Each structure stands twice: as structure tokens, then as C-alpha cells.
Amino acid sequence: MNAVYDVIVAGLGGIGSAAAYHLAKRGERVLGVDRFHPPHSLGSSHGHTRIFRQAYLEGSSYVPLAQKSCELWKRLERETGKDVFAPVGGLMIGPPDCPIVKSTVLSAERYGLPYQMLTAADTARRFPAYLLQRDEVAVYEEAAGVLFPESCIQAHLTAAVRHGSEIQTRNPVLQWTARNGGVTVHTEKGVYQAERLVLSAGAWNPQLFGFTVPLEVERKVPAWFQPAESPRMFEPGRFPAFVWHCTKELNIYGLPGFNGEGTKVGVHQGGLKGAPDDLPRQASLAEVEELRRLVARRFPLLNQTPVTVDTCLYTNTPDGHFVLGPHPGYQNVFVAGGFSGHGFKFCSILGEIIADLAIESQTDFDIRMFSPTRF
């Protein structure tokens, strides 16, 4: 087969835009296609902000990936002149023996990452918007911060084009076939051939992967709240990003607003499940009410009526780890999905790893826990 492209990337959100960039930068002839026009607000990579942290509560094995990711985000900023990362620090909050605090400390200790353990009083002194219970502590990581997802995607796509990549938006992949040495990708606007294929369609991956992986799409409802008083306390610099253990079953997270949009707060667990095209994109009153209650309890200085409510999709795996590697049926097809509510910070390094796999059939990073066939 005379391939027109070296690699086709199907889905150009957080992960696919990074993959297209790294592949093109390494000299591959890349075609990137997306069903919508990224960055857009129908998938998993919108809503102004994402938490970046290196001391990693989901497992120490993520630390080397987070460290490299940070380096790559900063390089992307230099290369494109776009603001993609703000190192405003991060607080992991809860009782000293809760999983959030314990696992964060464990991974920081294992990799010698700097952190500070703050009591409730220390936290209130340094970051006065945070009113912890007396029995709670905060692990402060100065190197943590906030990524701007729309800007990250825009930067990766712009740089991918600069490196010769062709990008087609509003062009859904309908189906693909593969055989040794080539893939054929059928899209709404045409049929394309390449040597290799990357499937990075986020919440729509289950429809494209072509083998069974237990991915579950869950709709989340983050909201933005303006301060009722003391607005300076909520500004970046005085208000680090946070993850807060509220109960055994419930964590909330949040980030400062950078452009007057307000403080973002969301609940990590729970939400409507279903296929992405079937899930309602309007939040229910009950969902907003739950958030209001949680915010009132933790941040009494915020106005309890949100100024904006959004919906966004997690794509969860049963173990919370990603799905990344060669397709079990075809060595020239690579799958990237199941980012389970914590994948954005890794887009830059995962883009590089996808390029390693697609170009060299191997990577120096340990991605065994992401094996697509582990379930």
C-alpha cells in the first residue's frame, strides 16, 4: 500500500494534539483528524484549568512521568509563546491518615520531591481562604500548579502544523481497517491511508478501539464561584489548587480563576454514566445543590451561587490507570484512553511516548501499568 501519511491521529483533544505535535516534530508525515474543532467543550479537556502535581497520590510510578511532563509543558511555552502552565502551588488536604495525604507524602518521599506539611493554623496563615478542620492537614507542593487546557491544545496543534502536520477538524473518523504495513481510515470527508494509526478519541474511544476494554464514561459537573468578600484571598498566588478529602467516598478539588471566571470547584466521584452522545450536557438542580453545600462548608467566603456550571467527561478504567500501548490486534495501531479524571497533566509526556511507540516500537518510560490488555 502506498501510504500518503506516516501516521494518522484520530482525536485531537488533550492527548491527540500532543501526539500529533511530537510525531510531526520528529519528522513524521502526520494527518490529525477530529470530529469537532478542538479545543472545544464537548469532551474532557475544557473548562479553563487543570491541576498539575508531581507528588502523586494515584501512585508513585506516575512521578517520573509528571516530572518529564512539566519539562515538556515549559518547553511548549517557550516554543509557542503561549501561557500553558502557572506554578501556583497545590494543597492536598485531609486528615493525616487519609489516602490523599498519605499517598502524596509517600510518592514525594520516594522521589525526594520537596513538600511542606501544614497544620490547619499554618494553612490559614499562608492561604487564608482555606479553613481546615482542626484535625486536618495540608501537604503543600510548591511545584504544583495549573494548566490551561484550551491553550495547551491550541499550542500543540499550532506547533504540530508548524512542523508539517495536516489537521482536519469537523471530520469524524467513521471506521478504520488495518493490515501489516498500513491502515485505511474512513472519515466523513474522505478515506485516508497511512502506515500507522493512533486512536485518541477520549470518551468516544470505546466506539473506535475495536476490542473490548472496560471503559466507563462519567459526566462531571464543575462550577465556578465568585468571592462574596475578600476577593484577594482567592487570587492565583494566594490560592493554590487543591484536592480535599471530605469523606471516605468523596473528594473535592478546585483551582483559582485566572481571568475573572471565579474559583472552580468540582467533585471527583460520581456522576451520570453512559455513552458521550447520550449524556445530557445540562447539569441538574440536584447536582448544583450538592456542590453548593460542599462549597458552603469549606469556603464560606465564596458566594454560594455559582456563576457558571459546566459538564465534562471522565473516561474511567476499573483500576484508575490509563490505557496506552499497541492495539492487541495490530502492531501498527496505538491506543490512548481511559485517562480516568487525572490524565491532562500528562498529555505532553504521553504525546512523546505515543511518538516513541509509533516510531521506535518502544519507549524508555515504564508504561506497563497502562497495558491495554491488562483487564
State the Cα–Cα distance between residues 212 and 215, nearest whole angstrom.
9
Residue 169: CB minimum distance to ligand FAD, A: 9
Residue 181: CB minimum distance to ligand FAD, A: 23
Check 268, 298, 321, 327 and give the catalytic one: 268
Is 342 tagged catalytic? no
The alpha-helical segments, DSSP class H, found in 89-187 are 99-111, 120-126, 149-162
Judged by CB, which is closer to ligand FAD: 74, or 120?
74
C-alpha distances (whole Å) from 48 to each of 120, 146, 153, 310 are 29, 9, 12, 11
Q: Does 306 bind ligand FAD (CB under 6 A)?
A: no
Is 264 tagged catalytic? yes
Check 22, 25, 35, 49 and give the catalytic one: 49
Out of 5, 6, 7, 13, name the contact with ligand FAD by CB under 6 A: 13
Q: Does 94 bind ligand FAD (CB under 6 A)?
A: no
Pick the piece of the chain touching ligand FAD (CB under 6 A) from 64-72, 226-234, 308-316, 358-366: 308-316
Check 70, 152, 312, 347 and give the catalytic one: 312
Write each residue from 41 to 60 as x if it is in contact with ligand FAD (CB under 6 A), else as -, in one continuous string. Answer: --xxx-x--xx---------
- If you search the block for the grid coordinates 472519515, which residue do you land on? 187
Q: Does 312 bind ligand FAD (CB under 6 A)?
A: yes
Cell of 208: 473506535
Check 25, 48, 50, 245 and give the catalytic one: 50
Is 246 tagged catalytic? no
Whats the size of the chain, residue-wise? Answer: 375
Query: Reduced to 3 states, what is the DSSP secondary structure of residue 23?
Result: helix
C-alpha distances (whole Å) from 312 to each of 17, 90, 104, 203 are 18, 22, 26, 10
At 335, which helix (H) or strand (E)?
strand 333-337
Q: Does 227 bind ligand FAD (CB under 6 A)?
A: no
State the Cα–Cα distance between residues 20 and 39, nearest whole angstrom.
14
Active-site residue list: 46, 49-50, 264, 268, 312, 345
